[in-house]
Chain A
Amino acid sequence: MASTMRKVSLRNLAAHKVRLALTVLAVLLGTSFVAGSLVFTGTMSSAFNGIFDKVAVGVDAQITPRNNGSGGFAGRSQTLGIPDSVISQLQQDRQQLHIAKIEPAYTGAVAIAKKDGSALQSGGAPSVGVAWTPPEQAINPHAERIVSGHAPQGPTQVALNDSAAKKAHLSVGDTTKLVVANGTGKPMQVTIVGISKSVADTTGYVQVSFQKATAERLFSDGSHASSVSISAQPGTSSDQLVAQLKAKFPQYKIETGAQVRKDAKAAINGFLQVFNYILLAFAGIGLVVGTFLIYNTFSMIVAQRVRELALLRSIGASKRQISRSVLLEALVIGLVGGLVGLGVGIGIAAGLKALLSASGSGLPSSSLVIGPTPVIACLVVGVVVTTISAWFPARRASKVSPVEAMREGQTDGQSSILVRTIIGLVFAVFGIVLIAGAAASKGGGGPAGLVGLGGVLLVIAIVLAGPAISRPVIRLVGFLARPFGKIGQLARTNAVRNPRRTAATAFSLTLGLMLVAVIGTMGSSLKGSIEQAVKSDITGDLIVSPQNTAALPTGVGQDVRSVQGVGTVVQMLNMLDATGNGKSVNGAVGVSGDLASVFKYTMIQGSSTIHPEGMLISDKMAKDDGWKVGQTIGLTTKAGTSAQVPITGIYKANTFSSGALVGISAYDKLVPAQLRSTNVVIINVAQGAKVSTVENRVGLAMKDYLTVRVQTKEQFANSNASSINQLLVVLYGMLGLALVIAVLGIINTLALSVVERRREIGMLRAVGMARAQVRRMIYVESILIALFGALLGMVVGVVIGWALVKTFEPVLTGIHPIIPWGTVVFTLIAAAVVGLLAALWPGIRAARTKPLEAIADV
């Protein structure tokens, strides 16, 4: 019997190829994202590891400043570096410390213009200037070499790395513009004299090599190096050298080459983890939704096979054999889905890599690495998810009694949904209480977590109470079916005919679109709040700001002031992290000019004018730190500079600022010239000047700074939310995935419903329903199911998003919830379209039903 049962299972799979394909597709959607994310991150981390294995080769010790932010990759330098005194000390103690070579590095962020004059974008990769070390002087002579031209010699000669030169269309002999991002400098003209190649090249990476003296002048104050690498004489180990150096220079961070490599790898892996989380989130959605799809499919398969199963039971198959036969089908589907998912996942990883490489995001180019982890994860997830999803239907199948074989009509979904509805409502109440409580609280990370927990409870509530909710909600959206008359009514009643099935089908949309609504609400709140604040708080006419996250040198301010037609200019400068009276002073900015003339802020105490030697603090700081007007604070930066700064006023914290506003003289004392950079410049045009004319003139004056934007207040408001737009890309990805899965789920459900209702449809055809009307009936039914799912997801998602924003409100001043009506409406329309698309094929199948099928038992 066992082999017969197996034969029955396998024949069943083969007999329903479309159903098989749809179910496999459901498994595949989840598993492919699991495989894709694991393969992608595996490939990337192995590629980066390969690159970082070549970093600091031969270096036995590296001296870097402490507290310098996140080493090298992005992050603004907080200190000047390692003073020359340390280097000369090292030179002196060379023999005593068994030092072979000392290699100081001088490096800093730069922007370079392409041949056409526009800035060369490095994407996510660094764009840096360095001091050229001839191979014979370098610790690792193979790290870098000049492949054409020669090494830079004069103050305006540079070598550019090969991949950047290609991207910028620059070759040896070309002259171009270059800007050092930090410091007080202005754009300079440089000549490419050489093309270099480095072992640590990644796509997008830009490296401009200067003569050492030039680099020292550009990237330091002339008496500091960014870092110092040291190699030991033969016979002295790295650890010995590091130990000795640590004893000698306890104020610096000293690591072996291996540690440097390890740190670099850890930093990049942390960065890759973000990708991994996003992709795994997609995989999670795919799997959770896929589970419902598979569960639904197996439920229907069992319902349709009631007669067959009862026949098997009556001829002696045991309950266990029946459930095992269903589970065997699930196992096969899970395996196939897992395997195909692995293939598709590898494709996703390859596509993602190609996409990111093409956009120059700083990722290394290498071939895909497929380790055992994605393969095992994919197959295990596929099989486990499918088998679990099929477990309940399988148990139900085994309970089929032989008598049921003879009974007419449907047997699925007739049992009571009362108990699950009540449990679901309890979950819903708890979820809503949590969310409401968190939203009403003082905010912060804890309440945000509670909102998340409440969200999870609501999702469980939807799963449990979904069938019961489906009736009223579909009645609500059923007005859309009214224009279709009787056809619409039939569609509406069909949609609620089997509430469990409707709810399970719609769940894929509910979950996916719920996430869309959460992200959409958060995005629109942040974006909208910032936009509103820009429009209401900034009174200046023009805003000059750096592109992306790049910094601008302070020279921008002077150049703007000299433009004809410019009136008031206020320059905001980036401060270093500092401490004052033992408390950390974060989010401080230096202000040059009359801030009150371009920006609206409310004073609680004192004058709005920022004294050059003093500072204003926010009411928040006053409360948190207990500081008062008239008090003088001794501020000390991480670079070691300090100044006595009196508090001259307290302002009300707003969307843009809740830290100290430091006067320009105090700023200059606190921030060494090399570490200064411009945050933003706000301009009022002079009386009688036209804003657009001045805008053009400022734009022209700023052109050579390369990574600069000159915008009106409105443009600034719109573009300010670029990081939020990245969030929205993820949102549309999720929307797409949810819709694709939903299409599959709805196709599956409808196709099977059409088969089940064959006789009824035949009867309708017999009494005069035209084919087009049958099709329309299925379309409307599908759209109603889709809208039910979408509406539920939108409502819950918006509520969660709203509550999350509420928890941010006390932390992020000025941020308030804004419901993204546009996204909501667009999503509902998209859901309806998806419903229609999903119904096309089942609709055609239904319309093909012959009237005779009502009578004949075909």
Chain B
Amino acid sequence: MSTPATAAPAAAGQQQPPAAAAYELVKTYGKGETTVHALRGVSVEFAAGEFTAIMGPSGSGKSTLMHCLAGLDTATSGAVQIGEIVLTRLSDKQMTRLRRDRVGFVFQAFNLVPTLTARENITLPLDIAGRKPDADWMQTVVGRLGLTDRLGHRPTELSGGQVQRVACARALVGRPQIIFGDEPTGNLDSRSSAEVLSILRTSVDDFGQTVVIVTHDPRAASYADRVIFLADGQIVNDQRGLSSDDIYEYMKHLDEHGPDGLQD
């Protein structure tokens, strides 16, 4: 199974373009003396079918990077691309459509509409778009995620882990080009965390899905193929195949010495 993001005909060439990318991304808040530089020229590409974790201490800019990549926020300068689409010049309407059709989201909290059942929540983006979900695919996703007998329940009748699994199902069922997770396991105990992370892992391995999550938990990051470390609005490290211990050590190091004290 290759990439399910069939919406990108450009991917037909030999060299696969990145699922998402940022070039010289700058994001500043405020003006004058109180200016905060959240991102100071970040350039990064996310290959299709890869699981990436973005890490960094509080205020490192990791969340801002993800928000800009996902079309939830606009950068001060630089370019963002989802598939072949450059987000910089999109109107709010086009941006909304892009999120709806090409991006999946798993948030830390407030993922689901409380008045809708799990099934209705899963199909929500498709319903908004007025599209019919692919019944087989839906069944596959729901089955894999162990939600088959939970579909008629409302969010208040689900456990925290189940809520996040429903959110994952919602992200997967639309076969987006890329799924973004913003601390998707931030509110979960370790067992539920492991469930959700292995779902994301499996979606990459089995369905060729591209996943990018922001996390501060080394164990969560260890499920990723690639870990990007951010500090002070810049990428300070970008590695593959790290264990949770490696990540933990690196984060500790980052906390103690700051980005300036780091020499690769």
Contacts and interface: CB of A to CB of B under 8 A. Distances in A.
Pairing of A with B: yes
Interface in A664-711: none
A765 B72 CA distance: 9
Nearest to A771: B92
Nearest to A497: B115
Interface string A495-515: 001000000000000000000
A490 interface: yes
B262 interface: no
Given A765-B96, A768-B96, A854 B67 contact: no
A773 B96 CA distance: 11
Interface residues of A, number: 28
Given A773-B128, A852-B67, A855-B182, A767 B110 contact: no
B96 A771 contact: yes
A409 B155 CA distance: 12
Contacts of B67: 852, 855
A493 B116 CA distance: 8
Given A852-B72, A855-B107, A855-B182, A768 B97 contact: yes
A768 B123 CA distance: 12
Interface string B156-171: 0000000000000010
Nearest to A487: B128
Contacts of B125: 767-768
A261 interface: no
Contacts of A764: 113, 124, 128
Interface string B126-167: 011110000000000000000000000000000000000000
B246 to A, nearest CB: 28
B101 A768 contact: yes
Given A490-B115, A851-B72, A767 B130 contact: no
Given A768-B129, A770-B93, A760 B110 contact: yes
Given A497-B115, A764-B113, A854-B107, A486 B93 contact: no
B109 interface: yes
A494 interface: yes
Given A768-B99, A768-B100, A769-B96, A490 B182 contact: no
Contacts of B107: 763, 766, 854-855
Given A764-B113, A770-B93, A851 B99 contact: yes
A136 interface: no
A855 B183 CA distance: 10
Contacts of A767: 99-100, 105, 124-125, 128, 170
Contacts of A493: 115-116
B73 interface: yes
B258 interface: no
Given A768-B97, A768-B101, A485 B127 contact: yes
B13 to A, nearest CB: 28
B114 interface: yes
Contacts of A773: 128
Which of B67, B96, B130 gathers most chain A CB within 10 Å?
B96
Q: How large, as a class, is the contact surface on chain B?
A: 20 to 34
A759 interface: yes
B128 A852 contact: no
Contacts of B113: 490, 760, 763-764
Interface in A390-426: 408-409
A766 B105 contact: yes
Contacts of A497: 114-115
B108 interface: yes
Nearest to B127: A486
A485 B125 CA distance: 12
B77 interface: no
Nearest to B170: A767
B108 A771 contact: no
A766 B110 CA distance: 11
A769 B128 CA distance: 6
A485 B105 contact: no
A760 B111 CA distance: 8
Interface in A750-801: 759-760, 762-771, 773
Contact of A763 (B70, B92, B111, B120): B111
Contacts of A494: 115
A768 B129 CA distance: 8
A852 B170 CA distance: 18
Interface in A556-574: none
Contacts of A852: 67, 72-73
Contacts of A408: 109
Contacts of B108: 855
Interface string B88-106: 0000110011011100010
Interface in A832-853: 850-852
A530 B124 CA distance: 57
A766 B128 contact: no
Contacts of A771: 92-93, 96
A760 B120 CA distance: 15
A770 B100 CA distance: 9
Nearest to A773: B128
A769 B113 CA distance: 13
A684 B92 CA distance: 75
B72 A766 contact: yes
Given A493-B115, A854-B107, A854-B110, A770 B72 contact: no
A640 B157 CA distance: 88
A486 B128 contact: yes
A409 B70 CA distance: 26
B105 A770 contact: no
B93 to A, nearest CB: 6
B141 to A, nearest CB: 16
B110 A768 contact: no
A64 to B, nearest CB: 75
Interface in A721-774: 759-760, 762-771, 773
Contact of B124 (A486, A770, A850, A855): A486
Contacts of B170: 767
Contacts of A851: 72, 99
A798 to B, nearest CB: 32
Contacts of B115: 490, 493-494, 497
A628 B25 CA distance: 107
B59 to A, nearest CB: 14
B99 A766 contact: yes
B110 A763 contact: yes
Contacts of A487: 128
Contacts of B129: 768
**Top 7 nearest A-B pairs by Cβ distance?**
A768-B100, A486-B127, A493-B115, A759-B110, A767-B125, A770-B96, A851-B72
Given A497-B115, A759-B110, 13 more contacts: A409-B114, A493-B116, A764-B113, A766-B107, A767-B99, A767-B105, A768-B96, A768-B97, A770-B128, A771-B92, A854-B110, A855-B63, A855-B67
5 contacts: A764-B124, A767-B128, A768-B100, A770-B97, A771-B92
Interface of A: 408-409, 485-487, 489-490, 493-494, 497, 759-760, 762-771, 773, 850-852, 854-855
